[in-house]
Amino acid sequence: MKGKAPTFVGMALSMVLVFALFTSALSADVARMTKDELKALIEKGQVTVVDVRSGRDWKSSEYIIHTAVREDPSQVASWANKYAKDKALVLYCA
């Protein structure tokens, strides 16, 4: 029983950490839209889609959104003023 204690503590802590992080990743307080909503807005020309994926997020993906412009998420100040202020900016990050 003595040898089992660290195993259970480790197991419990790891599981808690994995699921806590999973939950926090899903419940981030950011407005979201479906792909159909986005498609309709793109067709109306009402939005600018900015693809801010980088690192593994960019490398692993097979797709890019039509008309999306790619920008560096760590350099927001350098590109934020490039886009018209009367249009909504949709950031695609993952």
- Whether residue 35 contacts residue 74, with contact meaning beta carbons closer than 8 Å, is answered with no
Q: Report, in Å, the least distance between residue 24 CB and another protein.
A: 7
Q: Which amino acid is at 78?
A: S
The answer to whether 93 contacts another protein (rule: CB under 8 A) is yes
Q: Rule CB under 8 A: which of 35-54 touch another protein?
A: 35, 53-54
| Dihedral of alpha carbons 33, 39, 43, 49, sign | positive
Site membership for another protein, residue 10 (CB under 8 A): yes
Please choose, out of 6-14, 39-47, 80-88, the segment that lies near another protein by the rule CB under 8 A: 6-14
Q: Is 63 a binder of another protein (CB under 8 A)?
A: yes
Q: Residue 89 corresponds to which amino acid?
A: L
Contact flag: residue 22 with another protein (CB under 8 A)? yes
CB of 48 to another protein, least distance (A): 21
Phi and psi at residue 47, to the nearest 5°? -135, 160
- What's the rounded Cα separation, in Å, for the pair 91 and 23? 21
